[in-house]
Amino acid sequence: MLVQEIMKGLFFVERGYLNGNHFLYRSEQPVLIDTGYVSDFNITEKIMRQNISRFWKVFWLEAL
């Protein structure tokens, strides 16, 4: 899995073959664009929690 900041505040998360990739925009109201399947949301949530300090301010974690 690759997590890369492609522009200031915009991250690309590349998942494995046949999984959806993600775009994340860090702002006061963060945006997640998930091209995967709802059935894999538990994996998406795990990735977000593991990388939360890179994606969003720590206080946003409490809102999840």
- How many structural domains are present in the chain? 1
Take residue 39 and report the two structure tokens written for it. 């059935």
Say what the pLDDT of residue 43 is.
81
- Report the predicted TM-score, pTM, of the whole model to 2 decimal places: 0.66
Spatial separation of the C-alpha atoms in residues 60 and 12, rounded to whole Å: 19
**Long-range contacts, 40-49 (Cβ 8 Å, 24+):** 43/15, 43/19, 44/20, 47/1, 47/3, 47/13, 47/15, 47/22, 48/24
> What range does the domain containing 50 cover?
2-63
Average pLDDT along the chain, 64 residues, taken 10 residues at a time = 85 79 83 79 81 59 45
